[in-house]
Amino acid sequence: MSFKYLLAGTMIASALMISGSPEAQPPAPPTSNMPATNATLPSREFADKAAITGKYEIEAARIAEERSHNPAIDQFAAQMIRDHSRNNAELKETAMRVGIRLPMHLDREHAGLIAQLRSVGPRRFNAIYAQQQVQGHQDAVAMFASYARNGDNPRLRRYARMSLPILQHHLDMAQALPTEPRVARSR
């Protein structure tokens, strides 16, 4: 056996040992159809996505309040309901002023995320909820930042700029969420 083949085999074995088994890896984050950071949506599409995201956040938080039983998740969920309800009202008012009618229902992607939260077992709920929140807020921060910089409607740009610090704060909070199984407590 030549040294070249021995070295290559050692490198492959080392890489496999470092990466661990596929079963030990965390679940893949949910996919998203949010725009890349450098892409700016037209105003109607931005408003639609912002509205759907806000509706999803409230619905997901309500599920978390019912299913998590972890004080940190409960506190985060309560803040999501408060902040996104207020933010959705601001978006609705802004959209009316610029002549955009917002969607009433979730899109397929967000309905699927809600279905996942409803169906996941209690031992994995916190991890899945936290994962969805991190991914969703990363996407929202990117979309709002892009629109705030380059959006085609001044009122929606102002709304995006005003919403951005709140969304960034939510992302920071989501990244600190506990992912361990349920913690029993009395309600």
pTM, 2 dp: 0.76
Token pair listed for 80: 């999501």
CB-based contact 56:110 (threshold 8 Å): yes
Residue 131 and residue 23: Cα distance in Å, rounded?
Answer: 17
Least Cα distance to 118 among 43, 153, 162, 67 occurs for: 67
* Mean pLDDT of the chain, nearest integer: 83
pLDDT in tens, 77-94: 999 999 999 999 999 999
Token pair listed for 2: 């030549």
Report pLDDT for 39. Answer: 59
Report pLDDT for 181. Answer: 61
Rounded to a whole number of angstroms, the CA Rg of the chain reads 20
Domains of the chain and any CATH numbers: 35-175 (1.20.1260.10)
pLDDT in tens, 21-68: 333 333 444 444 444 444 578 999 999 999 999 999 999 999 999 999
